[in-house]
Structure 1
Amino acid sequence: MQSLNRNGVSITQTPGEEKFVKFRSSAFKRRTFYQYDYRHTDGELFSTVAKTLVECRRRRNEWIAKKEQSNNP
Structure 2
Amino acid sequence: MSEAFDIAETLDVKGASCPMPVVKTKQAIDDLAEGSVLEVIATDSGSMSDIEGWAEGTNGVALLEQVDEGDVYKHYVEKTD
The answer, yes or no, to whether TM exceeds 0.5 is no
The answer to which structure, 1 or 2, has the higher relative contact order (CA under 8 A, 6+ apart) is 2
Q: Which structure is larger by alpha-carbon Rg, 1 or 2?
A: 1
User: Normalized against structure 1, the TM-score is what?
Assistant: 0.30
TM-score by length of 2: 0.28
